[in-house]
Amino acid sequence: MRFLLIEDNLGLASAVVERLVLDGHVVDHAADLQSARDFTATTEYDLVLLDIMLPDGDGRSFLDERRDARDETPVIVLTARSEVSDRVTLLDLGADDYLTKPFDFSELEARCRAVLRRRGGSPTNRKQIGNLTFDPQAATLRVGDRTTTLRARELRLLELFLGAPGQIMSKTRLVDRLFSYDEEVSENAIEVYVGRLRKHLDGSPVSIVTVRGLGYRLSVE
């Protein structure tokens, strides 16, 4: 998943980015609202983590702008304000959840999973298709009696395909979803990860099909 973190506390931002990257997510960091607007103008995100008090304005204005623009990207607000009225205002503006600072990173991770799960319309992160069971929280893929522990990017790539079965995904789009701006990577890397996933999926009703000249799509028998 690709996240946008909008946070001006560089120490906290660095710690959050490090934790989420360890989970296999791609995280872009904006230290102010203008940088956040620049990011969202060119990149699609799965989740936004939004601080309220920022150097060039109030994060609530950013949230209001995104919802006015019919942007349904989930937003978790990170706030030092614990008053009920503040939380009510944030939720009414369109926040999907909020977390009061200081917070535990494990709770942040759990809230991210919960928000993404709700947005996907599923009560659980686990997916089962025939003899295939995919558990992203445990980073495991089970096909029949064979269980594989997935590497971070293999896991996120499989999440992308399972989240959009039948949809063609270009190599460019997959690079955008799996790698941050700071990483120099060619589209050949996607071929490597797709090749690994195909081996892990062998024997299941799920396969990744090459659509010549366009990219890949997930096929379910």
Three-state SS sequence of 193-220: HHHHHHHHHCCCCEEEEEECCCEEEEEE
pLDDT the model gives residue 118: 82
CATH class of this structure's domain 2-119: alpha beta
**Which residue bears the tokens 């906290």?**
12
| Rounded CA separation 188/180 (Å) | 16
Can you give the residue ranges of every domain in the chain?
2-119, 152-220
- Cβ atoms of 74 and 4 closer than 8 Å: no
| Rounded CA separation 133/128 (Å) | 4
How much is the pTM? 0.74
Domains 2-119 and 152-220 belong to one CATH topology = no
pLDDT beyond 80 at 184: no
pLDDT beyond 90 at 78: yes
pLDDT beyond 70 at 191: yes
What CATH number has the domain spanning 152-220? 1.10.10.10
